[in-house]
Amino acid sequence: MLNPERIVYVNGHFLPESQATISIFDRGLLFADSVYEVNAVLQGKLLETAAHGQRLERSLRELGMAMPMTHTALLELQREIVQRNQLDQGMVYTQITRGVTPQRDFAVPQGLAPSVILFSMAKELINNPVATRGLKVLLVPDIRWQRRDIKTTALLAQSLAKQQALDAGMDEAWMVEKGFITEGTSNNAFIVKENKLITRQLSNEILHGITRASLLQIAHELNLVVEERPFTPEEAYQAQEAFISSAATFALPVIAIDGHNIGTGKPGMITQRLRAIYIEKALETAL
């Protein structure tokens, strides 16, 4: 059969995607009252499972929700999604909403049964053509709410920013607030200056990227100087290298920002090295 349907998981059931449904009164739909995680899959194995599990639990806790199952049980579901879809490379999405409300009500109901949704997307992550070509970035205002450290599905500002970049003939948007870059639409932002790695420090203003943390660890092991601080558009335009990081991209080079070439206008050496080491190390602990 050509393009067989994906098997997804919804509230206790593995189903073909066309048969998977969710209530119109789910608070995830009505209020984006839901959180999610994205795990990369390489060689049929999930990367960085412990860190993603911990961040999921934290996101839920910040919204007054508990993990709907143990970390082990969740990992089993994620692995089953990989297996049932024979996923070799791509991503597994885990989404948890507060659940279905009896009435549409802004007050947050207590004690709802959360909706749990898992699905996969096949994608070539290692031989991603962008890794050799590089990304062109557009800077846009950051119009998001102030709890960007919580990984919620309230992603409209990011979605519109990404589309704005595509409409301008670019590949990605980095968001700017009070004169400093916060992060990309679905990734953390890095620049390299005088061989130093610069990325914004953790706070409620950005998502605490799992890939970011691992790349910083690798940078320390390589004896690269790391500065966790805000950086301006001007600094970015003049950077020696720039890149993004996320579970879906690993480290991916940025070759231009607002039409300014970064370095030579080609993917940078440090970025490529970090990317290669990240993939190698992440595979060692993949499950």
- Is position 162 annotated as part of the catalytic site? no
Q: For ligand PDD, which residue of 34, 78, 94, 211 counts as binding (CB under 6 A)?
A: 211
Instruction: Give yes or no for residue 207 binding ligand PDD (CB under 6 A).
Output: yes
Q: Does 59 bind ligand PDD (CB under 6 A)?
A: no
The span from the CA of 113 to the CA of 27, in Å, is 11
**Only segment of 80-88, 160-168, 240-248, 252-260 that touches ligand PDD (CB under 6 A):** 240-248
Residue closer to ligand PDD (CB basis): 266 or 281: 281
Q: Among 151, 193, 196, 281, which one carries the catalytic annotation?
A: 151
DSSP 84-153: HTT-SSEEEEEEEE--B-SS--SS--SSPPPEEEEEEEE---TT-HHHHH-EEEEEEE----S-TTS-BS
Of the listed pieces 21-29, 104-112, 208-216, 258-266, which binds ligand PDD according to CB under 6 A? 208-216
State the Cα angle at 283 between 249 and 78, rounded to 5°: 75
Query: Which one-letter DSSP state was computed for residue 19?
Result: G
| Span from 110-118, 204-212, 231-239, 271-279 in contact with ligand PDD (CB under 6 A) | 204-212
Q: Which of residues 253-282 bind ligand PDD (CB under 6 A)?
A: none
Is residue 239 involved in binding ligand PDD (CB under 6 A)? no
Sole binder of ligand PDD in the list 15, 22, 29, 38 (CB under 6 A): 38
Tell me: does residue 188 bind ligand PDD (CB under 6 A): yes
Give the helix ranges, DSSP H, for the chain. 27-31, 49-62, 71-84, 129-133, 156-167, 210-221, 233-237, 269-284
Q: Confirm or reject binding of residue 209 to ligand PDD (CB under 6 A).
A: yes
Pairwise CA distance, residues 19 & 221, whole Å: 48
Crossing angle for the helix pair 210-221 and 269-284, nearest 10 degrees?
A: 110
- Residues lying near ligand PDD in the complex (CB under 6 A) are found at 38, 183, 186-188, 207, 209-212, 245-248
Active site residues per annotation = 151
